[in-house]
């Protein structure tokens, strides 16, 4: 019986492919090729990229250890979960504080650069829902990051948000339907969530000066802040919400206010005090000079980090002593 997808040459009785058959085969070939490329990109993003990128490897290690935290057994040291962004990453000597705290506490850091309040509010909600139960959560943010309505978007959808949190995050961040659907896709796809990180990694390797220029532009893109009373009011609402979240899961919250060359973090301390939020502000405005900061004026250098780490350890010991 002759095939319905081909004609036959009447002189040779050899089948000749019809245009429809050729188009169908080409379509299948294209779809198969795209599927293979996407599958390859997904596998590389999940398994190969963390081995190539120190940043990605560090974030995944932090995430695994944070997600492993469960209720401490009676008599065992309490667990302190330190969360935040690059201010904590650059300002905390992680190996040193773990050594200094010793058997007094298990200190676990979970840091993702460029994250803000919404990232960590919904990140904590997802972690608590997954059974994570530290003894103490220490959240390190400055005033601008506390009142920000931005998020790290797709990357946070992968590493911080639960799929049930996506709609709430999108609503609070003012996202449209396209960006919201992107969060859902990023939650399940490592490649989609990490595509910007992978691009930056390639830039850093292929053209370091160009990559450095892009990072400088991003670091200097600071939005003007509203009036002081509005900042304090918004900060109080945000801190109250995250404190309530922690209390619902019997977890103690402490706000760690990082040092700064600007006065705005004084307003964050005022907001925390007015809202009866436990906070540590060990190095208030004016304590550290410019020599303790990196050229960007926001992040601590090694000397500043050494001072900040010592003060964090001192504050933690004092708080843990009160729990005994």
**Taking the chain (324 residues) in consecutive chunks of 10 residues, what is each chunk's mean pLDDT?**
52 63 77 77 75 90 96 84 97 96 94 97 97 97 96 95 93 93 90 81 70 57 80 98 97 97 96 97 96 94 97 95 79
Instruction: Write a three-state SS string for 78-124.
Output: CEEEEEECHHHHHHCCHHHHHHHHHHHCEEEEEECCCCCHHHHHHHH
User: Could you give the angle at the alpha carbon of 282 between the alpha carbons of 276 and 284, nearest 5°?
Assistant: 90
Residue 34: its pLDDT value, please?
A: 76
Phi then psi dihedrals of residue 35, to 5 deg: -65, -40
Residue 29: its pLDDT value, please?
A: 78
The residues, ordered by sequence, that sit 6+ positions from 205 with a Cβ below 8 Å of its Cβ are: none
What is the distance between the alpha carbons of residues 292 and 294, in angstroms, rounded to a whole number?
7
Which two structure tokens, joined as six digits, stand for 7?
């004609």
């Amino acid at each position: 019986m002759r095939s319905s997808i081909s004609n036959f040459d009447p002189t040779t009785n050899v089948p000749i492919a019809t245009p429809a058959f050729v188009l169908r085969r080409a379509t299948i070939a294209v779809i198969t090729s795209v599927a293979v490329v996407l599958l390859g990109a997904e596998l590389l993003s999940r398994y190969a990229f963390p081995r190539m990128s120190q940043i990605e490897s560090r974030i995944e290690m932090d995430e695994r250890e944070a997600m492993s935290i469960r209720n401490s057994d009676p008599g065992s040291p309490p667990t302190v979960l330190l969360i935040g962004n690059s201010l904590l990453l650059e300002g905390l000597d992680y190996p040193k504080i773990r050594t200094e705290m010793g058997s007094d506490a298990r200190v676990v850091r979970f840091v993702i650069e460029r994250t803000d309040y919404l990232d960590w509010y919904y990140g904590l909600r997802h972690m608590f829902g997954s059974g994570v139960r530290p003894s103490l959560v220490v959240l390190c943010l400055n005033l601008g990051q506390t009142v920000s309505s931005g998020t790290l978007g797709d990357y946070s959808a992968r590493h911080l948000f639960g799929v049930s949190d996506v709609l709430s995050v999108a609503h609070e961040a003012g996202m449209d339907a396209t960006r919201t659907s992107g969060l859902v896709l990023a939650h399940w796809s490592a490649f989609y969530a990490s595509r910007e990180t992978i691009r930056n990694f390639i830039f850093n390797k292929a053209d370091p000066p160009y990559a450095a220029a892009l990072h400088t532009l991003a670091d200097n893109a600071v939005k003007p802040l509203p009036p002081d009373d509005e900042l304090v009011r918004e900060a109080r609402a945000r801190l109250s919400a995250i404190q309530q979240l922690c209390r619902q899961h019997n977890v103690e919250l402490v706000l760690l206010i990082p040092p700064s060359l600007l006065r705005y973090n004084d307003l964050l301390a005022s907001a925390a005090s007015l809202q009866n939020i436990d906070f540590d502000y060990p190095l208030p405005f004016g304590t550290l000079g410019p020599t303790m900061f990196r050229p960007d004026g926001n992040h601590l250098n090694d000397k500043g980090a050494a001072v900040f780490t010592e003060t964090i350890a001192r504050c933690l010991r004092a708080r843990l002593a009160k729990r005994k």
